[in-house]
Amino acid sequence: MATVEHLFAYSGVVVETRFRWRLADDDDDGGQPTLFPDEAVGERHVGTGEFRGLEFLHVNAQRVINPVPATSRMAFRYTINAYRGCSHACVYCFARPTHQYLGLGIGEDFERRLVVKVNAVERVRAELRHPRWAADTIAMGTNTDPYQRCEGKYHLTQGIVAALGERANPFSILTKSTLILRDLDLLAEAARRTTVRCNLSIGTLDPEVWKLTEPGTPHPARRLEAVRKLNAAGVPTGVLVAPIIPGLSDGEEQLRAVVDACLDAGAVAVVPVVLHLRRGVRDHVLQWARRTRPDLAERWERQYRRAYLPAAAARAITDTVHAAVDDHGGRTRHPRRASRSSGRAPAPPTPPRSATTATTATTATAATAATAAGPSRHAEATRDSRHASAGRQRVEHPPSGQQLALEWDRPAPALDPAGSGASGPDRRRRLPT
């Protein structure tokens, strides 16, 4: 079986992860040195019709509910990613380098050659039944979008949502896709049984910026309608204004338009996330900018000497969003410090020895925010279910707008504006009832 090893920087901690994948119909790796050598791929499917131009690489996964590193300060402990690569083709997507770990490219390969864990639903059902599984919150959309186009072909996210709802296992979803509305009834039923939270990523309403930076995503207006319909169905849904791109979507009028539209759509949270460019993604984005917007390429080379925008510049952007929320009657809650419960997360379920599925990547790439933007794996809107159940509308943000955490029954971590990982007060704004 082919093996790929890599070092993955997550929440400032370097984690060594070993990926072990097997093609869906491959019983013997034949001593191949790469993950998907062209001569060894038996389950490669070429898309036709609405999926023309895409290629699907079928794999069997030994484990699908993957643990977040114990050192992480994310408020969720487990993630599910049924797909690798994303046809949304967001130029800034933080997850692009994960394709390199699989022996694929971060450019067109990431957008067109998609890895599909064809046994994901089967594995999730088995893992949820395992005696050691403690019904922890599971975050989806922390690497690539669970409702990207190929979900219309494979229905893996649909099956996973059904399985989580049946077991009353709390979960969250981050997406840019209106395909989530296909599962509206499933999500509403799950929300009646357990804690469910959805977030749509809407970084801009500007049609030119949208077409330029995320050409494979639904129109922002359609995403706003999805926010409206999900909340109307009883599925608490917020918006990540993500990513806010310096020089493209950070104008005051642009940001206020997004906030106004999100609140009009009934979003329970509006959270700004400024673009960040980690190693690999930075090079990809700068190459793209040199071809399409040379003026921005020069600017970003100066601004993004590190992964994050300088703290003062990032704060000026997020403060604009906060001010727009205030203009809708928001108020600042008393700052508080929050910390994730200490101790190592419980061990994930161990597959039975009789399992015939092959081994998969046991990776911890967390959100959130998706495909959504910059540190999407660090970005999930927070929530207090008591306010949601009481019918109150709340708009929240942490101080940075760059790193967020999903709050369920335990407090979310407070993170520093520069993205350095230092603790800070957790500032939020809430609309009065």
Domain ranges of the chain: 3-430
Asked whether residue 172 carries a pLDDT value surpassing 80, the answer given is: yes
Distance CA 23, CA 207 (A): 40
Q: Phi/psi at 60 (nearest 5 deg)?
A: -100, 135
* pLDDT at residue number 51: 95
- Residue range 75-84: mean pLDDT, rounded: 92
Q: Which amino acid type is present at position 239?
A: V
Distance CA 199, CA 182 (A): 16
Q: Flag the least confident range among 72-86, 150-164, 291-305, 418-432.
A: 418-432
Q: Average pLDDT over the chain, rounded to whole?
A: 75
* pLDDT at residue number 180: 98
* pLDDT at residue number 230: 98
Structure confidence by residue, pLDDT tens digits, 223-268: 999 999 999 999 999 999 999 999 999 999 999 999 999 999 999 9
Higher pLDDT, 260 or 40: 260
Instruction: Find the Cα–Cα–Cα–Cα dihedral 367, 370, 373, 375, rounded to 10°.
Output: 20
Asked whether residue 177 carries a pLDDT value surpassing 50, the answer given is: yes
Confidence tier at 399 by pLDDT (50, 70, 90):
very low
Q: Flag the least confident range among 128-132, 296-300, 331-335, 372-376.
A: 331-335
Confidence tier at 108 by pLDDT (50, 70, 90):
very high
* pLDDT at residue number 330: 57
Confidence tier at 139 by pLDDT (50, 70, 90):
very high
- pTM of this structure: 0.73
| Beta bridge partner(s), residue 368 | 376, 377
- Residue range 306-312: mean pLDDT, rounded: 96
Q: Given 1.10.760.10, 3.40.50.720, 3.30.70.270, 3.80.30.30, which CATH number is that of 3-430?
A: 3.80.30.30
Confidence tier at 75 by pLDDT (50, 70, 90):
confident
- Residue range 165-169: mean pLDDT, rounded: 98
Beta strands in 96-191 (DSSP E): 113-117, 138-140, 171-175
* pLDDT at residue number 267: 95
Classify 99 as helix, strand or coil: helix
Question: Could you tell me what percent of the chain has a pLDDT over 90?
Answer: 60
Asked whether residue 36 carries a pLDDT value surpassing 70, the answer given is: no
Helices H / strands E in the chain, number of each: 14, 16
Confidence tier at 325 by pLDDT (50, 70, 90):
confident
Higher pLDDT, 416 or 118: 118
Higher pLDDT, 347 or 234: 234
Asked whether residue 42 carries a pLDDT value surpassing 70, the answer given is: no
* pLDDT at residue number 366: 30
* pLDDT at residue number 33: 39
* pLDDT at residue number 20: 40
Structure confidence by residue, pLDDT tens digits, 270-286: 999 999 999 999 999 99
User: Do the strands 55-60 and 113-117 form a parallel or antiparallel pair, or are they unpaired?
Assistant: parallel
